[in-house]
Amino acid sequence: MIVRIIGGHGGVSPGYRATSYLIDGKLLIDAGSVASGIQIPEQILIDNILISHSHLDHISDLAFLADNCFGQKGRPFEIHTVQNVKNSIMTHLLNDVIWPDFTKLPSASNPTLHFNELESEKPVKIGDYTVTPVPVNHDGPGHGFIIEKGDSCIVFTQDTGPTDRIWEIAKTKKNLKAIFSEVSFPNKMMQIALDSKHHTPSTMVEEIKKMPEEVPIFLGHLKPNFQDQLFKEIDMMGNDRISVLGSDDTSYIF
pLDDT in tens, 87-98: 999 999 999 999
Question: Going by C-beta distance under 8 Å and a sequence separation of 6 or more, which residues neighbour residue 52?
Answer: 29, 30, 58, 81, 140, 142, 143, 144, 145, 156, 158, 159
The pLDDT value recorded for residue 46 is 98
Nearest-angstrom CA–CA distance, 208 and 72: 44
8 A C-beta contact, residue 93 and residue 56: no
- The residue among 206, 165, 198 whose CA lies nearest residue 181 is 198
8 A C-beta contact, residue 157 and residue 182: yes
151 has a pLDDT exceeding 90: yes
Residue 220: what residue type? G
CA angle 247, 158, 103 (to 5 degrees): 100
Residue 113 CA, chain-centre distance (Å), reads 18
8 A C-beta contact, residue 21 and residue 249: no
Strands 217-220 and 106-107 come out as unpaired
Q: What pLDDT band is residue 86 in, cutting at 50, 70 and 90?
A: very high
pLDDT in tens, 29-46: 999 999 999 999 999 999
How confident is the prediction for the chain on average, in pLDDT?
A: 97
Nearest-angstrom CA–CA distance, 42 and 34: 10
The pLDDT value recorded for residue 108 is 92
The pLDDT value recorded for residue 60 is 97
pTM of the shown model: 0.97
158 has a pLDDT exceeding 90: no
8 A C-beta contact, residue 221 and residue 244: no
Residue 62: what residue type? L
Burial class (CB in 10 A: 0-12, 13-18, 19+), 195: exposed
The pLDDT value recorded for residue 32 is 97
